[in-house]
């Protein structure tokens, strides 16, 4: 690695300034976090690999911010306030000091925006693509974390923001608004925190709207009926669909939305007005049922073979 020093020099120069008091200035082998009285800690972790979760030529500061934000999105879906994070990075051989500086600048930008600090982690060098593993830590008032498993028949289904922008930004980087959504997702922390005590279940949409609805359905032992005509879409995605209707399936299953899909009692409908779009209801049964223009059935009936993004393991997998 052409960084002008070894691992400890790199940490001291680039990452120690990002550390909070819990990280002990990155001079120890561990961090120390004292939970706030009356609060539960919430942990989430995601790994990002160049060529899989981001484009290798994406700007280093945007890669850093995306790595942080996709984890904050998980915290948002749990209703948590972010506190800090642990970061492990395997840099490709030959990574320059300038690249690392840009990466750190991205982290510093979003640390300031979201009010969090680095607690620790590890850095190494390897022959493969840039690989990042980030563990975010949040907190919620004791007993208020919103799980996947709380949806009940009679609940309504809501989603924040617009769907399909991230996946279609990957497909169409020439469309600035969509490319920005792919590069820099927006964790819905304020919304998630406001859902404590109002939502019965919640998940952030990383694998795709249909796939993540299926995760709630499985965890809760219910059926989620989604009205596809009510799924919120950006003007850019609508324009792509008008030119090629098959793009709609990509919007529903492509992932990288990082919006919040949640369920809530019908009595909370007015409380949630203006904060999210109502797109369906929870019924007895299991799985996901879709409806559109009077047609109703399981996802296969709508030509959705793969319900969302999946990492494939085993013989012959990448």
284-316 confidence digits (pLDDT tens): 999 999 999 989 988 888 877 666 555 444 544
Token look-up 């965890």 returns 219
Looking at CATH, the fold of the domain delimited by 148-302 is given as Phosphoribosyl-aminoimidazole Synthetase; Chain A, domain 2 (3.90.650)
User: What is the three-class DSSP state of 270?
Assistant: helix
77-104 confidence digits (pLDDT tens): 999 999 999 999 999 999 999 999 999 9
**Choice among 8-22, 249-263, 265-279, 293-307 with the minimum mean pLDDT:** 8-22
DSSP states of 80-121: PEEEEEEEEEEEETT-BHHHHHHHHHHHHHHHHHHT-EEEEE
Predicted local confidence at residue 128, as pLDDT: 87
Q: Of 15, 79, 85, which Cα lies nearest the Cα of 44?
A: 85
207-234 confidence digits (pLDDT tens): 999 999 999 999 999 999 999 999 999 9
Predicted local confidence at residue 317, as pLDDT: 36
Positive or negative torsion for Cα 125, 43, 318, 55: negative
Does the structure show a pLDDT above 80 at 10? no
117-132 confidence digits (pLDDT tens): 999 888 889 998 999 9
- Rounded to an integer, the average pLDDT of 236-258 is 96
Local confidence band at 3 (pLDDT 50, 70, 90 cut-offs): very low
- In the chain, which residues fall in CATH 3.90.650.10? 148-302
- In the chain, which residues fall in CATH 3.30.1330.10? 7-141
Please tell me the CATH superfamily of domain 7-141, with its number: PurM-like, N-terminal domain (3.30.1330.10)
**Choice among 23-37, 131-145, 222-236 with the minimum mean pLDDT:** 23-37
Both ends of the chain: CA-CA distance in Å?
A: 27
Local confidence band at 318 (pLDDT 50, 70, 90 cut-offs): very low
CA distance 201 to 193: 13
36-73 confidence digits (pLDDT tens): 899 999 999 999 999 999 998 999 999 999 999 999 99
């Amino acid at each position: 690695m052409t960084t002008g020093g070894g691992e400890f020099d790199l940490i001291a120069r680039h990452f120690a300034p990002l550390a909070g008091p819990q990280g002990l200035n990155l001079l120890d082998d561990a961090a120390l976090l004292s939970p706030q009285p009356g609060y539960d800690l919430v942990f989430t972790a995601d790994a990002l690999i160049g060529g899989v979760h981001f484009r290798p030529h994406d700007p280093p500061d945007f890669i850093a911010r995306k790595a942080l934000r996709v984890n904050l999105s998980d915290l948002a879906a749990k209703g948590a306030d972010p506190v800090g994070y642990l970061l492990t990075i395997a840099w490709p051989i030959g990574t320059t000091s300038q690249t690392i500086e840009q990466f750190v600048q991205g982290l510093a930008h979003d640390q300031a925006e979201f009010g969090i600090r680095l607690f620790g982690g590890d850095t190494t060098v390897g022959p493969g693509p840039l690989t990042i593993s980030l563990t975010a830590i949040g907190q919620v008032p004791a007993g208020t974390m919103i799980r996947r498993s709380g949806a009940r028949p009679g609940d309504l289904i809501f989603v924040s923001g617009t769907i399909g922008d991230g996946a279609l930004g990957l497909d169409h980087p020439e469309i600035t608004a969509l490319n920005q959504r792919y590069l820099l997702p927006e964790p819905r922390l304020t919304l998630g925190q406001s859902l404590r005590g109002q939502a019965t279940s919640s998940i952030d949409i990383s694998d795709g709207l249909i796939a993540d609805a299926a995760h709630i359905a499985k965890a809760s032992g219910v059926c989620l009926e989604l009205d596809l005509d009510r799924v919120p879409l950006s003007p850019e995605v609508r324009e792509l669909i008008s030119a090629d209707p098959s793009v709609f399936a990509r919007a529903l299953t492509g992932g990288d939305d990082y919006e919040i899909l949640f369920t809530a009692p019908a009595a909370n409908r007015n409380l949630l007005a203006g904060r999210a779009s109502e797109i369906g209801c929870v019924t007895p049964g299991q799985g996901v049922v879709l409806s559109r223009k009077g047609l109703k059935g399981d996802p296969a009936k709508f030509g959705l073979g793969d319900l969302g993004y999946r990492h494939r393991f085993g013989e012959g997998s990448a």
